[in-house]
Chain A
Amino acid sequence: MSATPSDLDVVFRHRFHAMGSPCEILLASSDHHSPAIVQRLELELQRLEAKYSRFQSSSLLSAINQSAGSGKSVSVDEETERLLDYADTCFKESSGLFDITSGCLKKIWNYNDLEDRQVLPDEAAIRKALEKVGWEKVERKPGEILLPIKGMEIDFGGIVKEYAADCVAGLADNLGAGPGMVELGGDIRLFDTDKSRSWQVGIRDPHDAYRPAATVRLQQGGLATSGDYERYSVIQGRRYSHILNPLTGWPVEGFSSVSVLADQCIVAGSAASIAVMKGDEGVAWLKELGLPYLCIDQAGQVSGTMT
């Protein structure tokens, strides 16, 4: 994904790597405070990464996952509590399709291995993995969470990176950064917006990393995309999405990519993820939400309401 503001010149651009993704902060105007402001924004991302990374063993998320099956609950702070509430809302609104405990299914589908495989995972392995999946199995009390089954895992994919974009935008506003944009691995949030400015954003083609499948103009809010970019398995010549249905354990067969525009990037992100999970019913879900969207199907065909 690439973004350029169309009606103004970007005078300050900061690129870095955080939360497992390439990131970029663009400010529309620059003065001697700009370097300090973007440093502070990057620090905010580091804070969230340190707290919610699955790969850092010192993170709060790792502490929760390591406690699974021990019978002991883990204390969580206000921010984490609200993120778990948000995940709960997504679970309910998607009738169980958006489930932050579905991460352990990914292991049996080997998404890190892009080599062509000869065999699909066997049903017994999927069934066994599914025993460790299910948000309804998680026990919550105010300020506490308990994962009752050993091997159970929480993964804030589809929530935390988008939330981080919203946090950065809010902080940028508070710091008086002026109009700008943050992009975290394809998820975008604008800040200090007004109707006189728009930003032109290219939505990457899921089948061709270097080509935009569509270009949209944003004036406000957050744009998030969910799809099988880069992460998929090719098994016996067939492409399997990294997005798994937590009810069946199988990859979903729906859109290759769905982008949604909403006031908050976190809402855009979960709306897009749920649309992909819903497969054929994804479009009905997007229409019901009434948010602008853009879908790219497996054949590369683009459709939607976003212009």
Chain B
Amino acid sequence: MKSRSLIALTTSALALPGITSTANADSPPTESSFGYRVSTYEEDNLPEEFLFLGDPERYDITIHQFQLVTPVGENYGLTLSSSYESMSGASPWYALPVFEGEKSIVMSGATIHEQRRDYNLSLRRYQDNGNYAFSIGTSRENDYYSWSGGFDIARNFNNDLATIAGGVSVSNDDINPTDAALFNRVTDESKRTSSAFVSVSQIIDQNSLFQSSLNMTRHKGFLTDPYKLGDTRPDSRTQWAWSNAYRRFVNSLDAALHLDVRFYNDDFGVNSLTLNAAWYQNLGDNWQITPSIRYYSQSAADFFTPVNDFSLYGVPNSSDYRLASYGAVSGGLQVQTFIDDMSLVFKIERYVTDADYSIHNGQSSPALVNFTRMSLGVSYTF
């Protein structure tokens, strides 16, 4: 990542009529860095008034993430990342019809304890006018195994002021739900996912940057949630997302504004809009404080039903709150400090969701979840 001051000076210099460009080589990392971050994600418990059966305590997740970036030879960079996630809690199992004042959500009976381990490896080659990388990864839970592979490439133009990038990836998931015989769940299902993206980014002037990207993802296979009762979903899903980012540095305040807008659509019938704003305020040379706010709204999937209709066996229907119409607002605060070759970061985020926050159509779910997320990270360059 180039220094912002250097981009400012170079952009200004390249505007001079006598200066011709020299294409810049993309540079691989010259130093190794190690990062570790621990995050906790704690869902609010389901309000008692909605609970019919089960444990009101929803998911608590703790995630440990490790990353090592190191140069290999003169032109390559290797990134090894791994995460370990432990989950406990209960998630909604099915939803019942509700009469005024009655309880409707059935949480899955016992508290779930789960662990997930992910490993990813990518090797990136840096060239005179861009870079490309191959990556592979695996993810494993006790009832689930996934592998993935990908390739991406970026090319710089116009004195590195513009970059066009693209990539493809594929993954395969094998799903073997636990307690399949007991609850009449499926066994040995699988899902294949392929995805592609293109993006273009342009440095507008010495203080601002715009990036736009289009992503298509196609899932085929078993897309139903095996742990939800009466949940049946189509066996393919095509998703489109168009993301736009604008970054502006404000010299006089030594701060940067980040604005993001994302439009999403899929053939389940879900449309969504995400708006994100963050203010990165530098305080002296060693501190940075970042308040951020995000708004999210989505429509319900075509086959979403707020309560399970068990007569619809085999026909697409789901009461999963993630397929309901809802809106969400979240606010976060991040504090980062830099001490020599080390950086420490703390972030707290509060997420609140409600059917009324949605600007989209469709029915909502009583199982919408609020959560608080906290993370603490450290990174070290050597």
Contacts and interface: CB of A to CB of B under 8 A. Distances in A.
Contact of B9 (A79, A82, A89, A169): A89
Contacts of B285: 284
B20 A173 contact: yes
B22 A220 contact: yes
B20 A267 contact: no
B16 A86 contact: yes
Interface size band for B: 20 to 34
Nearest to A220: B22
B18 A221 contact: no
A221 B23 CA distance: 10
A97 to B, nearest CB: 13
A82 B15 contact: yes
Contacts of A266: 13, 16, 19
A170 B9 contact: no
Interface size band for A: 35 or more
A291 B20 CA distance: 19
A100 to B, nearest CB: 14
B6 A291 contact: yes
> A-side binding surface: helix, strand, loop or mixed?
helix
Interface in B1-29: 2-3, 5-6, 8-10, 12-20, 22, 24
B6 A289 contact: yes
A170 B19 CA distance: 6
A267 B22 CA distance: 13
Interface string B237-271: 00000000000000100000000000000000000
A29 interface: no
B19 A290 contact: no
B12 A86 contact: yes
B215 interface: no
A193 B12 contact: no
Interface string A236-273: 00000000000000000000000000111011001100
B206 interface: yes
Interface string A80-124: 001101101110110000000000000000000000000000000
Given A89-B206, A263-B24, A264-B10, A82 B17 contact: yes
B280 to A, nearest CB: 15
Contacts of B10: 262-264, 267
Contacts of A88: 12
Contact of B6 (A78, A82, A290): A290
A78 B17 contact: yes
Contacts of A221: 22
A160 to B, nearest CB: 11
20 contacts: A83-B16, A89-B9, A93-B5, A163-B18, A164-B18, A166-B13, A166-B19, A166-B20, A170-B18, A170-B19, A220-B22, A221-B22, A262-B6, A264-B13, A270-B9, A289-B3, A289-B6, A290-B2, A290-B6, A291-B6
Interface of B: 2-3, 5-6, 8-10, 12-20, 22, 24, 206, 251, 285
Interface of A: 78-79, 82-83, 85-86, 88-90, 92-93, 163-164, 166-167, 169-171, 173-174, 193, 220-221, 262-264, 266-267, 270-271, 284-285, 288-291
